[in-house]
Amino acid sequence: MRAFLKSLDFLLFAVTLVGLILGGVLYALGRGELAAYVFAAGTAVVLVALIVIIIRSLLRGSVGLDIVAAISMAGSLALGEWVAGNVVALMFAGGQVLEAYAKARARKDMTALISRAPRRARRYHGREIEDISVDLIRPGDLLLIRPGDVLPVDGQLSSDEALFDESVMTGEAAPVPHKKGDELLSGITNLGGAVDLVAVTDVRESAFAAIIRMVEEAEAQKAPMARLADRHALSFLVFTIVLAALAFLQSGDAVRALAVFVVATPCPLILAVPVAIVAGLSRAAKQGVLVKHGGALETLASVKTILFDKTGTLTRGEPILSEVLVAPGFDRASVLSKAGALCQGSTHVVSSALVRAAAEQGSLSAPQMIVESAGEGLSGQVEGASVAVGTFPFVARMSSPDGWHPVARDLVAAETGLVAAIAIDGKISGLARFIDAVRPEAAEILAKLKKMKIARCILLTGDRREVAEAIAKGLPFDQVIAEATPAGKVEAVIHEKKRAVTAMVGDGVNDAPALAA
């Protein structure tokens, strides 16, 4: 905002507004000649800036309605119609300020997106590790990815195993384990220990850079109303000139011709479009809605299809314990308490969910001898008992194959959601089921949209199909599109746009290109 206040647009608006007010005061005090100079100065500064804008547009082969405003201001100065010129200048400068404000808001959102991208990387150079700019990364480079690091480029995992938060790219809420040789996208976060990555792209060709480019390209679009006005600018300009010439020929009065230009100056388009866009952006921001560009507001009333992201949009975006199944001979409260106590030693989102659920039963014991295996689970001691929590294969390796072992294995195989196995003293004692809970207001909102004549509501997510269909069950969706990459989401939006006016609802980096499209 500070940079916006220092901008040329704001300066021109301030000078013109002060000129109009000061000129009016001087005129009221009987200093008409001095008032004329003040009015003229306020008009002239905007006219000079406008001429520069027009020249640049003409060099690009574009003719805009700004030419009519420039003729009005120049004619007012030439014929001594100081107040009329200043008013036109104020309207033009006001429109520029409001448009600059809207762009400043968009740049702020873009800055937040870009700030996630790392600036430095650690590359192996022989037996040493060098700290380099990400711009120096080349395909084939071996990189060290530390815990918490965001991948700077697309690459192939060189370490045996790793665990990543891929929510910004795929919308998958749960951490995703990977094995050696897996292809990884830039922008995801390393949740496990330090791993090695072989770069397969440079930073400019990475998936995350492609997302940023797609958003930038979409935000460069003009609002539909402005595009429509510019499309007919040349014919409107010719019509105005002809009409002004006829007025002059009929009356012989140059002021009559000037009046035509002043009346024809597209003040409603110069001022009304930015005003409406800024008002809409501000109202949406108060409701927590991010609008990527002003054109979206103009077309919102005509929307017939809406695509919804899942994670963080329809759901809360974090796993919640929904059920604990226990083996015969084990107590649910005891199993949950021991699992929750052990998970206090991990920052994994599943561990956090278990800790929250277990803590609701009472205080938790302090775990000991915790060992965490990235992407698999953790083990340790709780109240003298050996406890393991994690994926079924991980827990099964630490357990004896007793009677409930195959039952638990079959339950896990049939489960579409997230499941953690629990073992106590070498026996599989329970299975913890998690859900990414649907927001309670989701069904009501979708029903209201249907009543508002929205023809199609589509669930568009990067999650697995079985997870997406489980979430969509009970909600009035017309279609479910699952396992979509950021680029795939853009394709889905473009496809729907060919059929009807389309809106995209989502949050997070992985939705940014689809939102912008």
309 catalytic per annotation: yes
Q: 379 and 388 in contact (C-beta within 8 Å)?
A: yes
Cβ atoms within 10 Å, residue 147: 14
Cβ atoms within 10 Å, residue 2: 6
CA distances (Å), origin 482, targets 165, 312, 350, 419, 455:
18, 15, 23, 20, 20
* Residues in a beta bridge with 504: 307
Task: Choose among 155, 151, 153: nearest CA to 165.
Answer: 151
**What is the bridge-based pairing of β-strands 456-460 and 479-481?**
parallel
Q: 122 and 171 in contact (C-beta within 8 Å)?
A: no
Give the C-alpha separation, 362 to 357, whole Å.
10
DSSP 232-298: THHHHHHHHHHHHHHHHHHH--HHHHHHHHHHHS-HIIIIIHHHHHHHHHHHHHHTT---S-HHHHH
Give the C-alpha separation, 445 to 452, whole Å.
11
Burial 55-69 (b: 16+ CB within 10 A, else e): eebeeeeebbbbbbb
CB-based contacts of 350, cutoff 8 Å, min separation 6: 174, 175, 319, 343, 418, 420, 434
**What is the bridge-based pairing of β-strands 368-373 and 479-481?**
unpaired
- Dihedral pair phi/psi, residue 30, rounded to 5°: 85, 10
With the C-alpha atoms ordered 162, 164, 169, 170, is the resulting torsion angle positive or negative?
positive
Give the C-alpha separation, 427 to 313, whole Å.
39
Instruction: State both tokens at 400.
Output: 């004896």
Task: Choose among 136, 243, 117, 132: nearest CA to 185.
Answer: 117
Give the C-alpha separation, 240 to 311, whole Å.
53
Instruction: State both tokens at 348.
Output: 């994994």
H/E segment holding residue 396:
helix 392-397
Burial 426-446 (b: 16+ CB within 10 A, else e): ebbbbbbbbbbbbeeebeeeb
From the list 309, 436, 463, 511, the catalytic residue is: 309
Local structure of residue 424 (DSSP, 8 states): E
Task: Choose among 433, 347, 429: nearest CA to 386.
Answer: 429
Catalytic residue annotation: 309
